[in-house]
Chains A and B, each alone.
Chain A
Amino acid sequence: MTTNDILYSVRELVVEYHTRVGDLNAVDHVSLDIKRGEVLGLVGESGCGKSTLGKALMRMIQDPGRIVSGELWFNDVELLSLSNEKMRQLRGSRISMIFQDPMTSLNPVQRVVDHITETIQVHEPKTSDKAARARAAELVDRLGINRNRLDDYPHQLSGGMRQRVMISLALALRADLVIADEATTSLDVIVEAQFLDLLKELREEFDLTILLITHNIGLVAELADRVAVMYAGRMAEVAEIRQLFSDAKHPYAQGLLKAVPNIRLDDDELYKMPGSPPNLITAPTGCRFHPRCPQVMEICAQQAPKFQEVSPGQLASCWLYQEHPEKAGQAA
């Protein structure tokens, strides 16, 4: 794998939130590569830091949060060293985002077309109003919205249409990377299915790289090439989609997959992982998953495992796959 295959590389990223009761690391030394042209699913429970990571990729962490350390390499440019103005120019043009709730993500007093033309013109100031409007019309046409609706206000559109508008905004400048943050959570299943089909088509057409942030494993299975599993602010496992579903390494990833409802399953009750996600202000020592882990060892509470390759293309942070003193002791 040459560096050119990698569009976005996160290295040892730490994002800290300052709260009244203490500081917490919502993202703790996370490293992740996003390959050019792939769909990478980012999954985990609510509060595991996946949305924070998504925002951090665009350098959009707001007070009281802060990127403490790490490197963000995008197209061989380190983003944390860019000026605010340079970073602003990248947002929406090279990296764009589709948000969770299309109902609230559009300005209620701005016409649909003005959202799009404004976005085009802020990045390409020389574009005339007329040209920007023509591009907006072309774009919504492609996304299956009648161009007569361009002059509508957001409240006049259905949820599905609004989500299409959000996509058109993300694609308006042909961004290299689209981050979809829980983009289907607020849609009903039918609209969600349409959204997925549309995304698959657009992926080919626009040469998209997509980071799909979701807690819906089914969505990931449907769309993603690779999956990253986060737990309590750390990266638990990254694997190709087939690898993960057939042979997940990290006990958390295994539990997560077991907890997915299966229509063919005969069990009366759904599998539940014991315990609940930790409070990150008083995060567990060592591996943050150890209090809930069915295969916990002594070392797990003492020292955090490294995040490293456990089989080709599959990375996990778990002592089960790493040499440690305890293991050495057993061998001796």
Chain B
Amino acid sequence: MSSALRRYIVVRILLTIPMLLILVSLVFVVLRVLPGDPALAILREGASDEQLASFRAALGLDQPLHIQYLNFISGVVRFDFGESMTRSIPVIDEIKTFFPATMELAIAGMFITTVVGIFSGAFAAQHRKKASDYIIRILSIILYSLPIFWLGLMLQMSFGAGLGWLPVSGRLSPGMTPEQTITGMYTIDAILTGNWPLFKDAITHLIMPAITLGLVLAGIFTRLTRANMLDVLEQDFITAGRARGLKERVLVYKHGLRNAFIPIVTLLGLQFALLLAGAILTETTFSWPGMGRLVIDRIYDRDFTTVQGAILFFALMVAGASLIVDILYGFLDPRIRY
């Protein structure tokens, strides 16, 4: 790694700190501005003033706003998002339980999106205006406009209920339990502990939700990759490479694709947020016990601290994704340096 690249990465990480501070402050303000009194919501109408007061005192809601803010910030820095209002356990523990499921689904979905989207896009660009190009373009529009839950239901009906190849819902079959939680992502834990029956069970459960999530998001990647590749393939250095006798395959997949990658990686970072949101729908469809399920359940329970913690956690994840994207820029394009 060159010193210029190292410098770029360090500066980019340092720049993340003020961004995170703004993000956390925003979450704090939004939750204070929203109508509704959490104490009243939890204790319901008719609670006595003393009950309300002691509830607020227990959560620190009786403090002046700036003290609340400082408490909130100092908590977030230590990954302490407070205590769940309805479960009496730290919010971070709830997140630790539910997040790995979402992460596992998001990574698998992202993998399918990337592989399907980028390769079909590059292939379509290489075969521009041929039948395969038109077929890929039409399919990508169809995929892009499918509702996630509908595709999920169709897969469940055909491969799950109909053919019986894959389990319809859940993360594991009844009776299967991981012996040991390392990452909380069952497939990875199973590999780490060498538990192959568990791995097989976890991956068969993962396939349908991941395909559902991945395919719906792949459509837009196909189109973006195709458009960028067409741009790049018309540039002079591709012609120059051809004049040097480089093979078409090398020109398209090595020289072309790498130059088309910057906008693709940008979209990948942005889509990560969408992927987490899309995961909520997919999780509901496939009864996948992840963050989406957690947030929806706790909203019904009016568990403000958990919802706040979950939102904040999502925000941090998205910030992290954009940091990773920017660092990837540095590796992909030597012209991007501070």
Given that A110-B255, A122-B246, A122-B247 are known contacts, is A153 also in contact with B240, CB under 8 Å in the complex? no
Given that A119-B245, A122-B246, A123-B245 are known contacts, is A109 also in contact with B239, CB under 8 Å in the complex? no
Taking CB atoms and an 8 Å cut-off, the chain A residues in 131-163 that contact chain B are: 153, 155
A179 to chain B, nearest CB (A): 8
Does A305 interact with chain B (Cβ within 8 Å)?
A: no
**Structural contact, B334 and A155, CB atoms closer than 8 A:** yes
Does B242 interact with chain A (Cβ within 8 Å)?
A: yes
**How many residues on B have C-beta within 8 angstroms of the other chain's C-beta atoms?**
20
The 6 closest A-B pairs by CB, nearest first: A92-B245, A92-B244, A91-B245, A104-B236, A105-B240, A97-B243
Q: How far is the CA of A110 from the CA of B241 in the complex (A)?
A: 12
Which residues of A are interface residues toward B (Cβ below 8 A)?
Answer: 58, 60, 88-93, 96-97, 99-101, 104-110, 118-119, 122-123, 153, 155, 166, 169
Which residues of B are interface residues toward A (Cβ below 8 A)?
Answer: 235-237, 239-247, 250, 255, 258-259, 332-335
Given that A60-B242, A91-B245, A122-B247 are known contacts, is A109 also in contact with B236, CB under 8 Å in the complex? no
Subset of 8 A-B contacts with CB under 8 Å? A60-B239, A91-B245, A92-B244, A93-B245, A104-B237, A106-B240, A107-B237, A122-B250
Q: Which residue of B lies closest to A88 (CB)?
A: B245
Q: Report chain B residues within 8 Å CB of A108.
A: 237, 259, 333-335
Q: How far is the CA of A294 from the CA of B236 in the complex (A)?
A: 39
A192 to chain B, nearest CB (A): 19
**Structural contact, B236 and A101, CB atoms closer than 8 A:** yes
Q: A60-B239, A92-B246, A110-B255 are in contact. List 6 more A-B contacts (CB 8 A).
A: A88-B247, A104-B236, A106-B237, A119-B245, A119-B246, A122-B250
**Structural contact, B245 and A109, CB atoms closer than 8 A:** no
**Structural contact, B335 and A122, CB atoms closer than 8 A:** no
Q: How far is the CA of A90 from the CA of B245 in the complex (A)?
A: 7
**Structural contact, B237 and A105, CB atoms closer than 8 A:** yes
Q: Report chain A residues within 8 Å CB of B240.
A: 97, 99, 105-106, 166, 169
Q: Which residue of B lies closest to A107 (CB)?
A: B237
Tally of A-B Cβ pairs under 8 angstroms: 69
A4 to chain B, nearest CB (A): 25
B16 to chain A, nearest CB (A): 25
Question: Looking at the complex, which one of A89, A109, A118, A122 makes contact with B258 (CB distance below 8 Å)?
Answer: A109
Main secondary structure of the interface of B (DSSP, over half): helix
Q: Report chain B residues within 8 Å CB of A99.
A: 236, 239-240, 243
Q: Report chain B residues within 8 Å CB of A104.
A: 235-237
Q: How far is the CA of A76 from the CA of B9 in the complex (A)?
A: 56
Q: Which residue of A lies closest to B258 (CB)?
A: A109
Given that A60-B239, A105-B237, A108-B237 are known contacts, is A155 also in contact with B244, CB under 8 Å in the complex? no
Q: Report chain B residues within 8 Å CB of A106.
A: 237, 240
Q: How far is the CA of A89 from the CA of B242 in the complex (A)?
A: 11
**Structural contact, A153 and B244, CB atoms closer than 8 A:** no
B328 to chain A, nearest CB (A): 13
Given that A104-B236, A108-B335, A153-B334 are known contacts, is A60 also in contact with B259, CB under 8 Å in the complex? no
Q: Report chain A residues within 8 Å CB of B236.
A: 99-101, 104-105
**Structural contact, A155 and B335, CB atoms closer than 8 A:** yes
Q: Report chain B residues within 8 Å CB of A118.
A: 244, 246
Q: Report chain A residues within 8 Å CB of B245.
A: 88-93, 119, 122-123
**Structural contact, A109 and B246, CB atoms closer than 8 A:** no
Q: How far is the CA of A90 from the CA of B240 in the complex (A)?
A: 14
Question: Looking at the complex, which one of B241, B242, B247, B332 makes contact with A107 (CB distance below 8 Å)?
Answer: B241
B242 to chain A, nearest CB (A): 6
Q: Report chain B residues within 8 Å CB of A60.
A: 239, 242-243
Q: Which residue of B lies closest to A100 (CB)?
A: B236
**Structural contact, A91 and B242, CB atoms closer than 8 A:** yes
Q: Report chain A residues within 8 Å CB of B332.
A: 109
The CB with the most chain A CB atoms within 10 A, among B237, B240, B241, B244, is that of: B244
Question: Looking at the complex, which one of A100, A101, A109, A169 makes contact with B244 (CB distance below 8 Å)?
Answer: A169
Q: Report chain A residues within 8 Å CB of B246.
A: 92, 118-119, 122
Question: Looking at the complex, which one of B237, B243, B255, B259 makes contact with A96 (CB distance below 8 Å)?
Answer: B243
The CB with the most chain A CB atoms within 10 A, among B237, B242, B258, B335, is that of: B237
Q: Report chain B residues within 8 Å CB of A166.
A: 240
Q: How far is the CA of A91 from the CA of B248 in the complex (A)?
A: 13
